Structure 1
Amino acid sequence: MTASPFDQSRYQLRFDWGQEGLRRLAPADVVVVVDVLRFSSTVSARIVGGETVPHDDAAHAVSRNGAAVASAAADAGAVVFLGCLRNATAVAHAVLAEQNRRAARTSVNVIAAGELSGQGDAAVLRFSVEDQLGAGAVFAALEALGLDHSSPEAAAASESFRGLRSAVRHLLTASGSGQELLEADRRAEVLAAAVHDADDAVPVLRGGVWRAYETISAE
């Protein structure tokens, strides 16, 4: 099959949005799904608390959009991690551990879930600043570990986080998604999602269940 100019296959680190973006990118060994408000942040915090989280339960309770991306990536045979601001550096270390385990250069697709407006076939993916920043935090952490063969899209996401890092808390609460949650009396969740590197474990999807990657890799 002829490579697409948009599949970012020349690069180790790649970035796109939603299920369409996952399909657009070349297949990768690892897919990191970033859905900061609230799927990735919520599952990450529960994993740190020692839980295992059934994927279907988390999807219905928190976010169908990010969960759908994760399901599609798992169906394609990738190792699927959840990334967010809370666990960005831990995700980078998990990716590096996976590369070491494979003893081979490991391709990484980071997919920002974004927000869907509308229903069914009429649904339109909307940019979400929180997922841009969350993906950027993951890329910045990967680059700090020496994994820096980044596509232009990935590099731009990384620099967006670096440049706006000090304003992340304000940007999340002021964003459309943040305002929606504040109106629903979920301010504490937005503030928790804005904390950089609060979590030291990484959710990995295996057999329909999210578990800590450290646990999986030690088996």
Structure 2
Amino acid sequence: MPQPFAQSRYQVRFEWGTEGLDRLAPADIVVVIDVLMFSTAMTDAAARGIAVGFDDDAVTGSANGAPVAARAAESDALVLIGCLRNASAVAEAVLVEQRRRGERTSISLIAAGERDPAGVRFAIEDLLAAGAIGDALSLRGVDHTSPEAALAIEAFRGLRGALRHLLTAGGTGQRLIAKNERGRVVSATTLDDLDVVPVRMDDGFRALGAGTADV
């Protein structure tokens, strides 16, 4: 009998944190989404041609996205880093990998959320970014989505015009703004201004340009 929370019958899946990743059936690609700030910092570094090692502050300082990426790397999945700024680039990278494999490729979109003593807390920014990536996949014909992924996609479609307001007004954004990091929060709200995708390698993360088949 299939596990009810594994979403195994669907090509595009959605869950939260390492616990959610463990609940899902194994996927060919895992996209780690931690918009404020792990995924956005990784994508910005990749756009500037900077490889990020596992001992760098952007990784060691991440209590949310980095553990998800590390857990995903324990499998045979291709681990990509996604955010709002590279949502379409992530979708393109998925298509390239699917063509390389020559078969339908399963994708798990994992929103890191915010970890606290009670577990993983819902994060507006990660839900919307997962929806943006799912929407970009759907526009490219990868649209066999689980109900969970479909919900994230529809949330993004309905609210895409309010990304800046939602991310700056949400709990994570307010916490960072209180630490004088409003500029970083506002920058993370921009949709599709970067065309690179960080990919996890044995020594850390490096840029995978959209449309690049070398993975």
Would the TM-score normalized by the shorter structure come out above 0.5?
yes
Could you tell me which residue of structure 1 aligns to residue 142 of structure 2?
147
Residue 114 of structure 1: aligned partner: 113
Number of the residue aligned with 1:169: 164
Q: How far did residue 77 of structure 1 move?
A: 1.4
Q: Distance in 1 between matches of 2:195 and 2:164?
A: 20
Q: 1:56: Cα distance to partner?
A: 3.6
- Alignment partners' CA distance in 2, 1:56 and 1:139: 31
Would you say 1:203 and 2:202 are equivalent positions?
A: no
Contact 1:56 1:208 in 2 (8 A): no
Q: Identity across aligned pairs (percent)?
A: 54
**Superposition TM-score, scaled by structure 2 size:** 0.96
CA distance in 1, matches of 2:162, 2:10: 29
Q: Give 1:59 shift.
A: 1.7
TM-score by length of 1: 0.94
Runs of 4+ in 1 over 4 A off after TM superposition: none
Structure 1 residue 214 corresponds to structure 2 residue 209: yes
1:3-44 deviation per Cα after TM superposition (whole angstroms, max 9, x unaligned): 201100000000000011000000000000000000000110
Cα gap change, 1:132 to 1:60, in 2 (>3 Å): same
Q: Which runs of 5+ in 1 are unaligned?
A: none
Gaps of 5+ in 2: none
CA RMSD of aligned residues (A): 1.3
2:135 aligned partner, one-letter code: A
For residue 209 of structure 1, report the CA deviation from its aligned partner: 1.4
1:97 corresponding residue in structure 2: 96
Match of 1:34 in 2: 33
Q: Distance in 2 between matches of 1:15 and 1:183?
A: 30
Q: Give the distance between the partners of 1:201 and 1:91, measured in 2 at CA.
A: 8
**3-state SS in 2 of match to 1:93:** helix
Q: Which has the higher helix share?
A: 1
